[in-house]
Amino acid sequence: MPTTTLPTTANVAANTPIPGLPILDLRDFTSGTPAQRAAFVDQLRDTAFTLGFLYLKGYGASQTQIDAVLQASRDFFALPPEQKQAIHMANSPHFRGYTAAGDEFTRGERDWREQLDVGAEREPIQQNPTSPAWTRLQGPNQWPDALPHITPALLDWQNTLTQAGQHLLRALALALGQPENTFESAFSGTPVQHLKVIHYPGRAEGESRQGCGPHKDSGCLTLLLQDTQAGLQVLERDGSDTPEGSGRWIDGPPIPGTLVINIGEVLEILSNGFLRANIHQVISPPQNVDRLSVAFFLSPRLDAELPELVLPPELAAKARGVDRDPNNPLIAHTGRNLLKGRLRSHPEVAQRFYADVLEAHGIKAGARGQAYA
């Protein structure tokens, strides 16, 4: 397959204000009639194949819980810079903590957003000389001393979305003509629950518009909560479906009561490209306006390796294959795949805690970030 080249604003047409993403209700799947359940699976198959994106409502969170997550996020970013820097990600071999605006890169360009990365609160995995480097990903979070309330708000959110994600994985298995429990064992016990709380500051005159540059998510499934400010855009492919990913950007503005769900690269590989890990980006808000979002990336246990699926002939005939980008190889082993993405996105952590394995991951000592995780 040819190398994937991400689109630039030069080869995509002007934005459309019409949201092209369907809204699905998870309750149709979890507690609906057999007909509602079947319709949910059919719609999920359609949109996961074409766009790889959808809105989801009825996903099991109360408005009180949503408000608590957004308030916790706002409170965190309102802290004085030195309190945020005190829990900088550069302190954490587990890639947890604060990243200031401009410190993260997508395809070598700076992203203009600050963020707090939170994982499941777990003990580090005991290290010995033969431990694979990905075992360093597990470990505790860094929390700001001044805001004890954000810990339960964010950890509860992880758990709510893990359950929603597991329902979606069952529905996706059915959509792919597989047994409903196909993904169950890989995601049971200690799945990787990666929450990224994100603040996009308004851009000053003449500044870059890259809140987060064009990328595919590298994991399995992303569940995104947006506050009230738009900015997310998804690539709608044109009919030619070229590997360059040409098309036009469609907006995915916040819709109250919904999450935006998208497919990650691991599911794209497993389904031989039937499911689409689609390219998306975030445009910085205008001056004096900011944007808040909370992205949750659900992945299998670090040690899980997901097998490629054998699709029924009618789906296999439509599968597009997978773009193999030599600069960004796709790996089905969860720990290795996640580590690859994290090392490329966070060069400071990479140089400090993973210097011994950078070469093996194709990263030069002192390199800037190249991709996104």
List of residues contacting ligand AKG (CB under 6 A): 196, 198, 212, 217, 224, 226, 232, 280, 282, 293, 295
Segment contacting Fe ion by CB under 5 A, of 21-29, 47-55, 155-163, 217-225: 217-225
- Cross-strand partners of 232: 282
Separation CA 282–CA 56 (nearest Å)? 19
Which residues are bridge partners to 249 per DSSP?
Answer: 235
Distances (CA, A) of 241 to 18, 133, 248: 21, 37, 12
Q: Which residue is nearest to ligand AKG (CB)?
A: 293
In one-letter notation, the amino acid at residue 245 is G
Residue 111 touches which of Fe ion, ligand AKG, none (Cβ within 5-8 Å per kind): none
Minimum distance of ligand AKG from residue 359's CB (angstroms) = 27
Task: Identify which of residues 170 and 344 has a Cβ nearer to ligand AKG in the complex.
Answer: 344
Residue whose CB is less far from ligand AKG, 51 or 315: 51
* Among candidate residues 116, 114, 86, the one with its CA nearest the CA of residue 100: 114
Chosen residue from 103, 217, 236, 268 binding Fe ion by CB under 5 A: 217
The Cα 140–Cα 318 span in angstroms is: 43
- Cβ 253 to ligand AKG shortest distance, Å: 10
Rule CB under 5 A: is residue 104 a binding residue for Fe ion? no
* Of residues 297 and 354, the one with the C-beta less far from ligand AKG: 297
Closest approach, Cβ 143 to Fe ion, in A, equals 24
- Distance between CA atoms of residues 177 and 157, nearest Å: 30
Interacting partner of 235 out of Fe ion, ligand AKG, none (Cβ under 5 to 8 A depending on kind): none
Report CA dihedral (131, 132, 138, 140) to the nearest 10 degrees: 50
Identity of the residue, 160 or 226, whose beta carbon is nearer to ligand AKG in the bound complex? 226
What number of CA atoms fall less than 13 Å from residue 55's CA on the CB side?
16
CA 254 → CA 23, 27, 227, 251, 313, distances in Å? 12, 20, 7, 10, 37
> Could you tell me the smallest distance in angstroms from the CB atom of residue 237 to ligand AKG?
18
Residue 282 contact among ligand AKG, Fe ion, none, beta carbon within 5 to 8 Å by kind: ligand AKG
Return the SS3 of 12: strand
Residue 84 or residue 196: which is nearer to ligand AKG going by CB? 196
Could you list the residues that contact Fe ion (CB under 5 A)?
217
